[in-house]
Structure 1
């Protein structure tokens, strides 16, 4: 909820850049309190709740009943989308239930759930203690209350999945009052009868009001829970895709990674963000080796940390520009320690490297130990060290250089459990797995050994397996100590047993503290490592583009440049910013590794021709939409036109002609598959080729069995897109097509119903008409005693007939079964299109990149395509149609929202006074007149001025059908 509200105000802020802002505390609170209350009345209740936590003064104003009561009520009136509180609960208390932290009202634990009917927040344990089902509640005598007991009507309840839950303290208090009143009435206290009836009516009204308000609040909260769950599913998919890219960057082959199993692993671990995933031995095998040129490690992470912190300091420098600077050595030690308490731990660490005197002060335990502790408390985002580890040592592990503590090489990794930093070589020599441990006698150590729980360990995960890593020196030292102590205990040195048990307890607590602190530290480094890797990939992509541009300027052809090997050369040289000086220094290695000079084998020739094909299909305007798969053209060229004596220049000159010829031959081959009634009297090849783009020319992919479209393609552009999209993942499977006469028959019916000739109307003509249809076979859905039917475009109508009624079309074709569908009138079509446009969602997967083939086999949403163009192509604002492409014939339920149209008799009137067309609805004539009088204050509505009567259905196929699923004309 807070995220949605924050995103809303971020959008509003861009629309109000011309306004001048002022701090709220600058208003004269003593003289202008009414002005402050008027300003606060325009805020959202969530904002009022946040403002109350700013200072004590604002909290006293906002929570004052006399002053701020009208403020809260105006805030809820101006935001009718929020559930209003009942009269017996104050607005601040209700706002705390809606937007406050999930803290239990009794025990203070996190994860509490609001109970709106009781005005409380309870965790799972407290909800079981203070709330109960009616069957579990007993009276003072220990008897169960009946279902029809009158006490239930006097008490509010909360709806849950298990049933209606009542508040136990409320039940007990009401039962005591009722029992006492009944005893007094039985003793003939006549004046209490009227009081009893009045209290009973008040309790009944209070309970009913709370039930109604709590039901609205629960429904409102359920909408946000649904949005949060959908965002978690999207985040889970994004996280799995990022991990897939990270594993590919680590050197794994894409076909060796089980992405479905990876998603199940993340879902089982409740991981929806890469911030909670530790990179390291958990994501890769211990014995795997990285390929050449991949530079991703702790060195990049530390550099990224320093850069981000330096940039944030530069951004905040203007805020303190008015403060006079001073030299730090001029301060006395006491004042300097007070100043050091406000610094970040990384600042304290860097300050200790400036001079010996400062280092002696900062690393002095007696002087700076409180300073380090306060610095960590002031920055809770930095994981604090355990008790047994000093803060300077912990800070050095977090932010220190990646230098190995054994050999002094760079590229070392921090092992927080051992308080060491080892390079990969020293880690393999000094770290050992549990199954490889041996005692001082050379025997294998069992898992139940008394020594292992006393030593810190690092977790090592691979697949479904799990192992613990230990430091060899720690294991051997502890083994010897425990062996000596055990020998002395066996020699009946009784005092040592108690001392040994105490030492074991202390060591186990130390190991538990180290494990607890090392987990957030690893998560922090993993988060910064992810950001560093993304930044490194963006810079590497930019460096590859610049070097490719310079190579093209030197005379090399674009298709002769191998981008993969070029990126490999730049990464192996640790190039972060491509300059001409670096380019000329690496030019001999680039020419040797990343340039196709003499394609000798068949694999090199195919890669060269495929790159040439990709360059050709993207640079001519619109060429990518009318070209088949590259494998088809490359195969034709190598089999029919290539000769061993052919030079590279001859291949480059001849291959574009082969591309154009192959495209025309392939299109002519598809035209020969068309039946005679669609071909007509065409004689020339150009006329036959144009027939492929007919709306009734439906083809099916022989090897494609995808659920979305079952291989049904209409038009040459859709066929070419299907070839390239699915053929890249399974080459050769989507290159064979056949004419689908069944789907073509129903497509011809749809085109004829729209008023066009099936022998001449193309798919572009049908898209330009943009007609809407409703199915005449489906039964209408009922809701609120009104019938509804979904609307379709012409392509969606065809797919609906093919999918939804496929069995009927195939099985009952010989029995005379004929499907029915209705064409909506132009006025009704405009009515439907208005409702479709407002319900468009950014999360629909209908976009693909036009700069590369990253999304050819799967379409993505708008945020994903924006992120792709920014990180891969450095385009902040992609242009639709040039940089990114929106799918024209996407599957059903992904291209547009299917509006459900009311199909009841006399529902054909539309109000013209409603300002937004997408909010208009269909009325009967009586209801629309009443609507105009009550909602728009029109005393005498006139037809065609205030309201119109439209025709819903324009035409129906078949026209002589004896039955129909709708009752409108």
Structure 2
């Protein structure tokens, strides 16, 4: 049997020039000149980063470009050169770089036959000796094969197909495409849960094989240190295992000299492994990538600088060019050199983009400039309000509405070289009362025009106000509805509409409010339910009655610790109906009116509204709280300490102002399953505390010692529902 190792077998195959020639990606053209062929095999700059795993190819690209830049001349007809003696041709080629010799083999058949012939081995050895910075060819490989491996690496040796990007494993002398990388390795110590290694860690096979720590997922590549995972070529492992098995079989069968042959094989294989390039190739590749990246960055920066200069020559400012950010243009536009042709191709798109950024910048600067002026007018608006009675603030619009009035619009549109100040706004605010009168009349006409079955003269202000004061005059703010603020977008009559000043509005045209037909219909039914005429009942009348209702269409559910329904005011009933109008159960509406006793009990348990802790209170004697409202307690303390009012009266000394942070009242839940409809007859009043029957019996036993309570004497039943409306 032969004692040749599988490594030597594979090397001898690679060393065969004829086989190597068949493996190279040769061109079929016979007479292509160097520039034409070079253009076909050149590595595109915009593929550098996608090919960062083929570091040897990076190095080849850098060296090739440097030499092409230094050459600067073109070959014409090669026939005159090829007529020279072969020794002289080889002598000339001996002064080239190994990569240049490889490129000669890719240009024309005549040159390929010269540099890849068997008698050209001395040429390859010479060029490698003259370039000691390049990793030298190991003894078991041919120089052409080694050059292809470290510089080109376009052929995947696993699937034998030409692919642009492969991973060059220098220590294993193998080129593998990333898609088949995982099936090309054998791991000596596989992680838990993966396929086991073919041999134990101490098996002799591992000592005869080169291993790599070089993986495509880890950049830069690391050297082959002992404390890292070892990866082996799966083909080498299989071949070496077969070779070792044959030696061991010969020893077992007692073949003469088998043990000596095995020892010689081990010595020769380990000696050959010692000559393989290991960390030297990886370090060289890392340096090549660094040089290639630096060159690519320098070239890109040069292209960017030249593009900036040309755009500046066209009149574009640095700001506009910076806003566009040209860094991605060379790659996306495939610009390797900014020639006149390349500039003509990309200039229209660049100018369009830079112009768009120019317009965006000017628009943003103008918006910022206008925002600053609007802030000044807003500040002047606050100063103006300080001169007015604080209780009138709620009648003034949101500051954004001022910008639609002519005087304030003129202030906004003053020339940019004018510095707008608060005192300059005084003239506009002198005309504000007139604008507000017009605003009031415009809103009244708009609202009345939306009311159904209404024929009121525009001059009849009393009839207009009376009609808008009716409980059926329900309107919805379009702005609040669009923002999703369902609890605060409904206005009950003119008083609510005039005080609705928290919505930004930049125009004064109609269309801010919508009449709520559902709300109006429900308000009318509630008025009739209370034995009132909705055609004459105002919102004030309904507020004074202050009845409490349950929605008969809503199911009972857990709410605030009880199982029952929410208790609503009449306004909350209207809002609830509007919100639930899309539900199948609320196509019609029906209400339970609570009895006076239950209503009184409910009111004792309701939260104070408006909330005293909400920062929406203000002093009515001074302008301290304009735009900066406080809690009720703070407002009372301010009135007492600053204005010497010992007993502050709400709406006279201080008042509540609806703010953008205004929160709706939180309803009380009425227990209905089981129903809490009993009170203790032995406890006078007892805070109108209501019990379910079992708890009341326990209360009478614990507090009054009554074991057998008597109805209507010890136990007083309190009915909750006075009457129920007919569904409408």
Q: State the TM bucket, normalised to the shorter chain.
A: 0.3 to 0.5
Higher relative CO (Cα under 8 Å, sequence separation at least 6) belongs to 2
Q: TM-score, normalised by structure 2?
A: 0.38
Q: TM-score, normalised by structure 1?
A: 0.29
